[in-house]
Amino acid sequence: MAGPFERLALLASDTDKAQEAREQVEGTRDWVPLEEADAAVVLGGDGFMLATLHSMLDGGRVIPVYGLNLGTVGFLMNRYRKDLNLSERIAKAKPFTIAPLCMTATTQDGETIQYNAINEVSLLRETRQSARIEVSVGGKVRIPRLTCDGVLLATPAGSTAYNLSANGPILPLDSELLALTPISAFRPRRWRGAILPDRSTVKFRILEADKRPVAAVADQKEVRDIAEVSIEIARDDRLSLLFDPGHSLDERIVSEQFVG
């Protein structure tokens, strides 16, 4: 039962659990190099999955990905079973498309750096002093001065990650929304964040940047000493994750809201 994906690549993180699983999975079928594959099977945790997706975005060739959880949370992964019938599971898997964020950061030295973020873009203070940040949405200044440890913009796929830890909202995958969430905001004291249409362009301008330096982090990629950051959806860089029926990322986002 080959389904739509006849040529599969196998990728595994370097953890002992993932490498042990790789030895088992390798003998189940013939595998091809990633550059020749119709889809990829990823063994590991969410961090390795994010790294794999980023490498595809950076390499300019994006193919569907089916993850098997050998990590901790495995929010982006399917359940790993030693008795798995991998070909059948992949043939029955349902695709879910997600769009990453595109972050354009300008440093205090005038350098412009662009990174994609699948989960979130976070701005974080670099020193013990709080950050002061001007927040604009859709070309309009919404908060002239946000005094905080930081602020983040999360996709629906990333809304259960750092965003949730910072008391941000969980967003359904099909909501076409973004979560704008402060991190330990001091002023405005009562501001708890905002939910924005994903067509919004969000800009952050760092106030007193020399005295209160701020770093911008797009998932795992950091740019230090920033002056300004602009973020919008990268609609031309959509990613496709494959999930077992009944275990989709959409269902996991709903389920997460009922966990005590």
* Rounded Cα distance, 178 and 185, in Å: 19
Whether residue 38 is annotated as binding a ligand: the answer is no
Whether residue 164 is annotated as binding a ligand: the answer is yes
Whether residue 246 is annotated as binding a ligand: the answer is no
Whether residue 165 is annotated as binding a ligand: the answer is yes
Whole-Å CA distances, 64 to 31, 74, 213, 242 = 15, 17, 39, 7
> Tokens representing 129?
């002093």
Are 179 and 193 contacting, i.e. CB atoms less than 8 angstroms apart? yes
Is 174 catalytic? The answer is no
Whether residue 119 is annotated as binding a ligand: the answer is yes
Which one from 46, 198, 244, 250 is the annotated catalytic residue? 46
Whether residue 149 is annotated as binding a ligand: the answer is yes
Token pair 């992949």 in the structure block, residue: 90
By the 10 Å C-beta count (0-12 exposed, 13-18 middle, 19+ buried), 210 is classed as exposed
CA trace torsion 143, 124, 105, 118 (10° rounding): -100
By the 10 Å C-beta count (0-12 exposed, 13-18 middle, 19+ buried), 188 is classed as middle
Whether residue 234 is annotated as binding a ligand: the answer is no
Whether residue 161 is annotated as binding a ligand: the answer is yes
Residues of each annotated binding site for NAD(+)? 46-47, 119-120, 149, 157, 160-165
- Catalytic amino acids? 46
Binding-site sequence positions: 46-47, 119-120, 149, 157, 160-165
